[in-house]
Amino acid sequence: MTLPEALVYAREHQPAVKAALARVQAAEADARSTRAQWMPYVGAAAQLVGGTANNTTASYLSVGGVDLPRIGGTPVQATGSLEPYPSTVAAIGLTQQVFDFGRIAAQAAVDDAITGVQRLGAEAQALFVALGVEEAFFAVQAARNVLRASEDAFERAIVHRQRVVNTGEDSTAASSASSKSRGRRNRRMSFTGKECCGFKERLMPSSVADACSSRSYLRSS
């Protein structure tokens, strides 16, 4: 996964970012509902009420959006009576806000300010999440690079060790061969010196023969 893909996935699935965006949507809905008070309001009602007509000529229930005056067709009774009279009403009403002395405008301004605060909070939360994603991404990349460098160093150490072992074996073999050659040459020189001294003993005086014997002894030792 690349860094842009990780950032997109975090913005779409991180709970903190989703909660911040939900708060922005709620604030925007509040602002729209405040401005909706300028829209016309339609109401309708249909009622059937039974009751006496002792104190009123009509009875009905109040319904919001339908402003009805108290109009009825039942005559007023001079004396009280428990006889029920039905009252029916069917009405439709339309209400339009024309002037409110700045109340709706003030509420809309407050809602807009709250929406701006929530939007900035969502952006800050998105930046915080993006920072965490980038830190985690680069930390993983750094760890992979360290692992790769460690593996390369380990392989180089193995090669260097094998080279040192091979060099040591060659040096040991060369030193052994050199020692054997040197010992062989010393023995040959000692043997030649002995022969020379033996030949000279027959041709030279005894003093010269003794000197040759001493030199041969020194070389052999």
Q: Is residue 7 part of a domain?
A: yes
Q: Is residue 22 part of a domain?
A: yes
Q: Is residue 199 part of a domain?
A: no
What's the confidence (pLDDT) of residue 145? 92
Q: Is residue 59 part of a domain?
A: yes
What's the confidence (pLDDT) of residue 182? 57
Domain that holds residue 46: 3-69+81-141
Q: Is residue 219 part of a domain?
A: no
Q: Is residue 115 part of a domain?
A: yes
- Which long-range contacts link 57-63 to residues 24+ away (Cβ below 8 Å)? 58/87, 58/89, 59/87, 60/87, 60/89, 63/91
- Could you give the number of structural domains in the chain? 1
Q: Is residue 96 part of a domain?
A: yes
pTM for the complete prediction?
A: 0.54
Considering only CA atoms, give the Rg of the chain. Answer: 58
Q: Over the range 160-178, which residues count as b (16 or more CB within 10 Å of their CB) and which as e?
A: eeeeeeeeeeeeeeeeeee
Cβ atoms 87, 59 nearer than 8 A: yes
Give the 3-state secondary structure of residue 195: helix
What's the confidence (pLDDT) of residue 203? 44
φ/ψ of 65, rounded to 5, equals 90, -10
What's the confidence (pLDDT) of residue 208? 45
What's the confidence (pLDDT) of residue 32? 92
Per residue of the chain (221 residues), what is the pLDDT tens digit?
A: 788 888 888 888 888 889 999 999 999 999 999 998 888 888 888 888 777 766 665 566 777 778 777 666 666 666 767 777 777 778 888 888 888 888 999 999 999 999 999 999 999 999 999 999 999 989 998 999 999 999 999 998 888 888 877 776 666 655 665 665 555 555 555 544 444 445 444 444 444 445 444 444 444 44
φ/ψ of 17, rounded to 5, equals -65, -40
Q: Is residue 87 part of a domain?
A: yes
Please name the residues in contact with 215: beta carbons below 8 A apart, sequence gap of 6 or more. 193, 197
